[in-house]
Amino acid sequence: MAAQAGGEKGASVAIEKLRGGGAGPYDPGMDTRIAKLEGSHDGLKQSQSILIMSVMGLAGLFFTLAAIMVTLQVFTFNRIDQVETKLDAKIGQLETKLDAKIGQVEAKLDAKIGQIEAKLDAKVDALGVRVDALPALISQEFRAMRADMTAQTNAIANAITAARQPAPPVIVPPPPGSVQSAP
C-alpha cells in the first residue's frame, strides 16, 4: 500500500510538471486528454485492485478447499483404521470359532476312526483264529484223502494181481443122474 501511495504522488508530480502549474505552453486540448488519461489510470488501478483481490480470494478459496480435502483425508484414514481394527477383531473371532469347530470335527472323526479300528481289529482277530485252525483242518482232510487213496490203490492193486493170475479151472458139475466113465 505504501508503494501504491508513493506511486500516486510521483504520477501527480509528473502531471503537474507537464501542466506547468496549471497553464502552460502546450495545447489547451491537452487538459482533456490528460484528464482522460488520469481517468483511465484510475480505472486501471481500480481494476488492478479488483484483480488482486480476486486472485487473493481464489487463492484463499483454493487453500480452504485444500484444507477441507486434507481434513476429509485424515477423517477417511482414521475411519479406515477403525474399520480395519473392527475387521481384525471379527476375523479373530471367526478364527477362534473355526478352530473350535475344527476341533469338534477332529474329535468326532477320531471317535469314528476308533470305532472302525475296533471293528476291524475284532474281524481281523476272528479271521486270525479261523486261519490258525486251517492247518489242523487241512491235516485232517489230507489224512482222510490219504486213507481214501490208499484204499483205492489197494483195490486197484488187488484187481491187477487178480487179473494176472491164471484163471482157476472151471469145473462144471454134471447134471444129476448122469455118470461118466473115466478114460
Q: What is the pLDDT of residue 18?
A: 58
| Reported pTM | 0.35
Q: Does residue 19 surpass a pLDDT of 60? A: no
pLDDT digits 0-9 by tens, 128-151:
888 888 888 888 888 889 999 999
pLDDT digits 0-9 by tens, 56-95:
999 999 999 999 999 999 998 888 889 889 999 999 999 9
Q: What is the pLDDT of residue 64?
A: 95
Distance, CA of 142 to CA of 164 (rounded, Å): 32
Q: What is the pLDDT of residue 8?
A: 61
Would you kindly state where each structural domain of the chain is located, as residue ranges?
A: 27-159
Q: What is the pLDDT of residue 180?
A: 60
